[in-house]
Amino acid sequence: MIRPGPRDITEEELHAYVDEQLPYDRVCEVQEYLAAHPDDASRVAAWRLQVTKLHERYDHVLHEPLTDRFCVDTIVAGSNAAWKKIAAAAIVAFAIGAGAGWFGRDVSELGRDTDAARALASAAIEAHRMYVAEVRHPIEVRADEAHLVPWLSKRVGQQLKAPDLGAEGLKLMGGRLLPGPNGPTALFMYQNAGGERVTLTTARSPGEGETSFQWRAEDKIGAVAWFERGLAFVVAGPAEQAKLDRVARRVYEAYEIADNAAGK
């Protein structure tokens, strides 16, 4: 603390001195004061060092090249296009009547559903990372046990499927139940002949929203996430977008076909 000195320098003025926010006419007085008070001078020096260290540690970020996600024009163009679609669709729907089909509806969910999808994808990637590395017990229940799908469906609270991904060279190993951000979460694990593993994580989605496929990659693991019919889906595997995208579409179709068959 500052001892009341002849010149009445306050602690706030010392901060302002370090931050170069001190009125010009006080700078010399503070310097005189510091010359006479080594304790405060060393405090000030330590604060200065912190500033230097912060800049040393973080200034490099200023010079990192910016990807598209930080380009205002790109973001504006994206959301404008979305709004225009919606505006156009609304006018058409208005003109034709509410019976008209209308697409492009949820392209506008810039940020809302994507937050949830992002969180879910991160959780799924983490689960993927944890259990794919597992050699002895990657799964709880093997694929050949008949109760696998009914059990997971019951816990998640919706009819689930373990889609046949044979066309992608993937064979179902089995599944396990995980705690997730939206309650019980089912994880199905698949493996190809080369031992590469892909997981399908399914849980109840936080809302009724539906989204298009969203891609996320973290550290060599990629994920495609989407919400559909009250469920959230994440397909995670080695970060090859085209491949995971195909798997995601198979999963999507498997649910679609089942629903159509059920006459929904």
Contact positions with another protein (CB under 8 A) in 244-263: 245, 249, 252, 256
Structure tokens at 77: 């163009």
| Burial label, 127 (beta-carbon count in 10 A; 0-12, 13-18, 19+) | buried
- Candidates 54-62, 141-149, 150-158, 164-172: pick the segment binding another protein (CB under 8 A): 54-62
Q: For the CA atoms of 43, 44, 47, 48, what is the dihedral angle to 10 degrees?
A: -140
Return the number of the residue (143 or 184) whose C-beta is nearest another protein. 184
Nearest in space to 250 (alpha carbons), one of 190, 179, 174 = 190
Instruction: Please report the DSSP string for 19-79 in residue order.
Output: TT-S-HHHHHHHHHHHHH-HHHHHHHHHHHHHHHHHHHHHGGGGGSPP-GGG-HHHHHHHH
Return the number of the residue (164 or 259) whose C-beta is nearest another protein. 259
Cβ proximity of 235 and 199 under 8 Å: yes
CB 78, min distance to another protein, A: 8
Q: Tell which positions 192-211 bind another protein, by CB under 8 A.
A: 210
Provide the 10 A C-beta neighbour count for residue 123.
Answer: 21
Q: Tell which positions 154-193 bind another protein, by CB under 8 A.
A: 179-181
Return the number of the residue (41 or 217) whose C-beta is nearest another protein. 217
Among 36, 49, 77, 257, binds another protein (CB under 8 A): 49
CB 215, min distance to another protein, A: 6
Q: Tell which positions 90-109 bind another protein, by CB under 8 A.
A: 90-91, 93-94, 98, 100-103, 105-108
234: β partners: 201, 225
- Residue 8 in contact with another protein, rule: CB under 8 A: no
Return the number of the residue (148 or 160) whose C-beta is nearest another protein. 160
Task: Report how many residues bind another protein under the rule CB under 8 A.
Answer: 84
Return the number of the residue (66 or 167) whose C-beta is nearest another protein. 66
Q: Tell which positions 58-87 bind another protein, by CB under 8 A.
A: 58-64, 66-73, 75-76, 78-79, 83-84, 86-87
Provide the 10 A C-beta neighbour count for residue 172.
Answer: 21
Return the number of the residue (56 or 144) whose C-beta is nearest another protein. 56
Nearest in space to 173 (alpha carbons), one of 140, 135, 142, 133 = 142
